[in-house]
Amino acid sequence: MTVYSAPLDDMKFVMNELLEAEKLAELPGFEDATPDLVDAVLTEAGKLCEEVLLPLNRSGDEEGCTYENGVVRLPEGHKEAYQAFAQAGWGSLVADPEYGGQGLPALVGAMVKEMACSTNVSLAMLPGLTEGACHAFERWGTDEQKATYLPKMLAGTWSGTMCLTEPQCGTDLGLIRTRAEPAGDGKYTVTGTKIFISHGEQDATENIIHLVLARLPDAPPGIRGISLFVVPKFLLKEDGSVGPRNGVTCGSIEHKMGIKASPTCVLNFEAAEGELIGLPHKGMRAMFTMMNDARLAVGIQGLGLAEIAYQSAVSYAKERLQMRSLAGAMAPDKPADPIIVHPDVRRMLLTMRAYAEGGRALAAWTAMHLDIAAKHPDEATRQAADDLVSLLTPTVKAFLTDIGSECANLGVQVFGGHGYIREWGMEQLVRDARIAQLYEGTNGIQALDLVGRKLGQNTGRLLRSFFHPGMDFIEAEMEKPEMQDFVLPFAKAFGRLQQATAWIAQQGLRDPEEAGAAASDYLRLFGLTALAYLWARMAAVALAKAEGDETGFYRAKLATARFYMTRILPQSSGLFAAIMAGKKPLMELEAESF
């Protein structure tokens, strides 16, 4: 069986000791976000996830959602669990207090999201999507729209979706056909079909507020002709309460590999009444607010699944008896030793641990810079923080979902044959993790975004937000003998990343296919190097606390950091060689020969 205990000690280490997040309380609007309050919030969230969400995870997967005559019902217990989650205010944690939010930092929200995704990623998606829709309203909605929709959505009474994909277009949204016709009084009728709409229909909320990409009659072709519309499932009465059904129906739900307790819907819009959000033909700009939120949230899904896979594998490895240790019997009173004594099992467990703890630091580092970009009084500081978030977003999404899938598969391997059997719960983690590499832009698209947009944006300004602190750290720590095990490997990977960046910049200007051929390997190299930077920083903190460490926490942190530097980070050499090989190995084979 899968097991999970909220990793509060490590979360507190990352926030308080690595990132010194107590400084966020100095920013306007975050005055109440003291370490004591944040600790209390995370403790209560952990209890909810362990006691309410986790027990429903397997049953929700086995039962799945039901569809009948356009009505979708969540698995047994999920509606009540969501409502308990919403009524306790967890869905409004980071939202604007003016509309009922609690105004806590995104960093706190990221930690709560991780725990929810570890314990029930299907259910966690419902408030997560609503949060993203609320951010779109906060950024682009009129005052009237904010007042109409945000209070109910933040309370969890209403939910939100994002409706982009159509049967003929996924990534290439310039091909969408859904149309919107002016209907007078600022209203529009929206007609078209959207697919792959998570929680597009469900029975947990009294209304669903769809954000829909569509074309106006005078829209220019392609991506520049898309507008964004608010289309509620139920129209609203003059007093803001729920009225008659709008012209949007669920045509079917998908039969999927994983996240089976999250309905993935086909939605048909038939002259559905809606209103414009943002400016005409500028819908992608507005939708990107929600999409970028979603990409960071999906990265945290990967992180959450890596964590529960790790914890479950450790629990199993300590109990499962098979063979004797190569060094001699470690449990002579038992018929065999627990498999955690075997080097290959330890390799798998340490890989999972290093990715989960490093990934948590990366997600938290990114989230804290979201907070700085939103609240810091100095414009230059806000810009630098926003640059780092923009640079890291594709890496957080792609790298953390890749390692989430890898960790889930490693967990199955630790369980052996039992991992392949449903009743042990590990195979569900593999299935649930797989979608995160696909939705909100496949990981290949994230890699293209990184090399094609982010590297050259503002003449390389975004890159400086990562390369400058990395170089400063190397220069400050290089000469310290106790840091050699951590700084030297990081410095080597950092140098490879710099060289690869320069090579892609030069070759990509000459031939865009060169950048495309390097993209996925480059994103992986960037992710590994970013984790190396954070692991080196965590090692520096742990070294200062290791003496007199009665709990063993800091010694374990140092051991995991050494494992990462010596057994995982060397992947950077192979990735660098693959990048430098150029496009020829990928492109010289004619299509007809495949």
Tokens of 407: 């960790």
Kindly state the tokens that stand for 517: 């051929």
Q: Tokens 């990534």, residue?
A: 171
Q: Per-domain residue ranges for the chain?
A: 8-151, 159-284, 442-594
**Residues 6+ positions from 37 with CB-CB distance below 8 Å:** none
Share in percent of the chain as helix, strand, coil (round to 5): 65, 15, 25
Length of the chain: 594
H helices, E strands: number in the chain: 17, 11
Q: Write the pLDDT tens digit of every residue in 393-435.
A: 999 999 999 999 999 999 999 999 999 999 999 999 999 999 9
pLDDT at 173: 87
**What is the model's pLDDT at position 241?**
94
pLDDT attached to residue 154 = 97
Residue 332 CB burial class (10 angstroms; 0-12, 13-18, ≥19):
exposed
Q: Is 440 a catalytic residue?
A: yes
Catalytic site residue from 440, 482, 547, 590: 440
Is the Cβ–Cβ distance between 293 and 205 less than 8 Å? no
CA-nearest of 49, 59, 41 to 4 is 49
3-state secondary structure at position 580:
helix
- At 39-62, the pLDDT tens digits run 999 999 999 999 999 999 999 999
DSSP label of 549? -
Same fold, 8-151 and 159-284: no
pLDDT at 285: 87
Write the CA distances from 510 to 485, 501, 575, integer angstroms: 39, 14, 22
State how far the Cα of 288 lies from the Cα of 11, in Å rounded to an integer.
Answer: 29
pLDDT of residue 549: 87
Note the pLDDT of residue 449.
96
In whole angstroms, what is the distance from residue 518 CA to residue 503 CA?
10
| Predicted local confidence at residue 67, as pLDDT | 98
> What CATH number does domain 159-284 carry, 3.10.620.30, 3.40.50.150, 2.40.110.20, 2.160.20.10?
2.40.110.20
**CATH architecture assignment, domain 8-151:** Orthogonal Bundle (1.10)
Q: What is the rounded CA–CA span in Å between residue 122 and residue 111?
A: 17
Answer positive or negative: Cα dihedral of 64, 253, 152, 375: positive
pLDDT at 546: 86
On whether the CB atoms of residues 296 and 394 are closer than 8 A, the answer is: no
Q: Are 186 and 275 in contact (CB under 8 A)?
A: yes
Which residues, in sequence order, are CB contacts of 563 under 8 Å at separation 6+? 350, 351, 354
Sites in the chain below the pLDDT cut of 70: none
Please write the tens of the pLDDT for every residue from 7-34.
999 999 999 999 999 999 999 999 999 9
Instruction: Please give the model's pTM, rounded to 2 decimal places.
Output: 0.97
The number of beta carbons lying within 10 Å of the beta carbon of residue 174 is 13
Which of the 8 DSSP states describes residue 337? -
Axis-axis angle for helices 461-477, 484-510 (nearest 10): 150
